[in-house]
């Protein structure tokens, strides 16, 4: 098989890249090692930034998102038994949309299949070759075990943190930046109506808790737990009791219901530089991980591939290589902004297991500042709703928005 771009991975990054390339008239093949059913059911993140929503609309894949997505104009910071609302729309003129990552994946898979262009599920043994030449290739096994090979101009490594793309880069080429946090999130999906119309970030003395949602019937909730927390220690009753304690304020009732899904996710920051090696371009979780607190993971993946599609399109149209050459630096500026925001937000709302009294006072001072100062709240809000794809690192841009 010959194609312009071999895309490894059918998460938000790979699927969105495939769609953007299709709109530019560029052919690609998507290789995914899981089944369609699996990727469409996997519960992940759920907050879409304003620029992400706009892009999905521009690309014609937002019909269901516009019908079913829940538009939010603010989020709540809860601490010391009281609520402090950050008015996202009042502060920035923008909003966020709550819509599950697997719903985005379903919409993009449907869009891909409608184009008739190839997407291969349940492939195995994916291997990347000749990345340092202008004729790279990818070998793999089809779902039926037969061998496959794709010759291409570019390989897009969109295969997440555990994929094969990043490890295909020779030792010593990539610089790795890593930070681990001394806690994890126990996440549950409950068949229960949300208990509040907005997301609630609760910085409680027993640890952080988050109230989020997926639909008017389904609530998404998280509890800060130890990094190595065994799920088995958390029977349903204990989860609800702890959520009830950490989310308690006067006048608030937590709606309970059957748990549909339960999992523990580590909190970590990870970035590799550069996001390119020869003809291999890394995008999304393959190149960077952010802690979930800022809800930036899926949005960063989409921002990367928007840039990558534009760079490949410029090359295909008239041989321009400047956008390909600038891809990594341009992405990394947004990645590091999001990395800082996610670290800041994470540090502000979690209780470190080894909390020293001085650091705890600083953390409280920051919570009070964001709650009281429109300037501080606006900084949170403009990062939360998502910085625009272009211009956010240019002088004068922030004031002018």
Q: Tell me which residues touch ligand PHB (CB under 6 A).
A: 45-47, 199, 212, 220, 292-293, 295
15 within 8 A of 30, measured Cβ to Cβ: yes
Q: Of these partners, ligand APR, ligand PHB, none, which one is at the site of residue 212 (CB under 5 to 8 Å by kind)?
A: ligand PHB
Q: How far apart are CA 240 and CA 235, in angstroms?
A: 9
Q: Shortest Cβ distance from residue 120 to ligand PHB (Å)?
A: 29
Q: Of these partners, ligand APR, ligand PHB, none, which one is at the site of residue 160 (CB under 5 to 8 Å by kind)?
A: ligand APR
Q: How far apart are CA 14 and CA 155, in angstroms?
A: 11
| Rounded alpha-carbon distances, angstroms, from residue 266 to 179, 182, 226, 313 | 11, 9, 9, 37
CA angle 204, 206, 211 (to 5 degrees): 50
Q: Of these partners, ligand APR, ligand PHB, none, which one is at the site of residue 199 (CB under 5 to 8 Å by kind)?
A: ligand PHB
Q: Shortest Cβ distance from residue 185 to ligand PHB (Å)?
A: 8
For ligand APR, give the closer residue by CB, 29 or 158. Answer: 158
Q: Of these partners, ligand PHB, ligand APR, none, which one is at the site of residue 126 (CB under 5 to 8 Å by kind)?
A: ligand APR
Q: Shortest Cβ distance from residue 68 to ligand PHB (Å)?
A: 14
CA neighbor of 160 nearest in space, from 49, 283, 38: 283
Q: Shortest Cβ distance from residue 42 to ligand APR (Å)?
A: 8
For ligand PHB, give the closer residue by CB, 213 or 330. Answer: 213
| Rounded alpha-carbon distances, angstroms, from residue 144 to 36, 128, 189 | 15, 20, 35
Q: Of these partners, ligand PHB, ligand APR, none, which one is at the site of residue 293 (CB under 5 to 8 Å by kind)?
A: ligand PHB
First vs last Cα of the chain: how many Å apart?
Answer: 47
Q: Of these partners, ligand PHB, ligand APR, none, which one is at the site of residue 138 (CB under 5 to 8 Å by kind)?
A: none
Residue 223 forms beta bridges with which residues? 186, 209
Q: How far apart are CA 65 and CA 52, in angstroms?
A: 11
Q: Shortest Cβ distance from residue 75 to ligand PHB (Å)?
A: 8
Q: Of these partners, ligand APR, ligand PHB, none, which one is at the site of residue 8 (CB under 5 to 8 Å by kind)?
A: ligand APR
Kindly state the helix (H) or strand (E) to which residue 126 belongs, with its residue range: strand 124-129
Task: List residues binding ligand APR (CB under 6 A).
Answer: 8-14, 31-34, 39, 44-45, 101, 126, 158-160, 162-164, 284-285, 297-298, 301
Q: Of these partners, ligand PHB, ligand APR, none, which one is at the site of residue 284 (CB under 5 to 8 Å by kind)?
A: ligand APR
For ligand APR, give the closer residue by CB, 223 or 298. Answer: 298
CA neighbor of 3 nearest in space, from 312, 216, 211, 243: 312
For ligand PHB, give the closer residue by CB, 84 or 129. Answer: 84
For ligand PHB, give the closer residue by CB, 8 or 47. Answer: 47
CA neighbor of 109 nearest in space, from 3, 12, 4: 12
Contacts of 213 by beta carbon, 8 Å cutoff, 6+ apart: 70, 98, 194, 199, 219, 220
For ligand APR, give the closer residue by CB, 6 or 239. Answer: 6
For ligand PHB, give the closer residue by CB, 165 or 293. Answer: 293
């Amino acid at each position: 098989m010959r194609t312009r771009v071999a895309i490894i991975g059918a998460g938000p990054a790979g699927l969105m890249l495939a769609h953007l390339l299709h709109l530019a008239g560029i052919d690609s093949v998507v290789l995914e090692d899981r089944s369609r059913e699996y990727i469409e059911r996997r519960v992940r993140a759920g907050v879409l930034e304003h620029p992400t929503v706009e892009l999905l609309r521009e690309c014609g894949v937002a019909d269901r998102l516009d019908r079913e997505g829940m538009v939010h104009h603010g989020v709540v910071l809860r601490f010391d038994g009281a609520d402090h609302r950050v008015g996202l729309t009042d502060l920035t003129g923008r909003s966020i949309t709550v819509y599950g990552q697997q719903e985005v994946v379903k919409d993009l898979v449907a869009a891909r299949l409608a184009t008739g262009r190839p997407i291969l599920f349940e492939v195995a043994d994916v291997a990347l070759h000749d990345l340092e030449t202008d004729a790279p290739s990818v070998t793999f096994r089809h779902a039926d075990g037969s061998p496959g090979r794709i010759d291409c101009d570019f390989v897009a490594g969109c295969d997440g943190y555990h994929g094969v793309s990043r490890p295909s880069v020779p030792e010593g080429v990539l610089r790795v930046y890593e930070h681990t946090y001394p806690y994890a999130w126990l996440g549950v999906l409950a068949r229960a109506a949300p208990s509040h119309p907005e997301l609630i970030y609760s910085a409680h003395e027993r640890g952080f808790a988050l109230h989020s949602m997926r639909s008017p019937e389904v609530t998404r909730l998280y509890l800060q737990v130890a990094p190595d927390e065994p799920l088995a220690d958390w029977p349903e009753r204990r989860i609800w009791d702890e959520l009830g304690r950490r989310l308690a304020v006067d006048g608030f009732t937590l709606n309970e219901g059957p748990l549909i899904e339960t999992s523990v996710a580590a909190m970590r920051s990870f970035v590799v530089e550069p996001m390119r090696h020869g003809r291999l371009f890394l995008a999304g979780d393959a190149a960077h991980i952010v802690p979930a607190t800022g809800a930036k993971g899926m949005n960063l993946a989409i921002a990367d591939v928007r840039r990558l599609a534009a760079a490949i399109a410029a090359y295909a149209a008239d041989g321009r290589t400047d956008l390909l050459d600038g891809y990594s630096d341009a992405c990394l500026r947004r990645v590091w902004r999001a990395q800082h925001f996610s670290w800041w937000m994470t540090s502000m709302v979690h209780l470190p297991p080894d909390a020293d009294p001085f650091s705890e006072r600083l953390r409280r001072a920051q919570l009070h500042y964001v709650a009281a100062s429109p300037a501080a709240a606006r900084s949170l809000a403009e990062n939360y709703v998502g910085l625009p794809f272009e211009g956010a690192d240019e002088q004068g841009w922030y004031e002018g928005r």
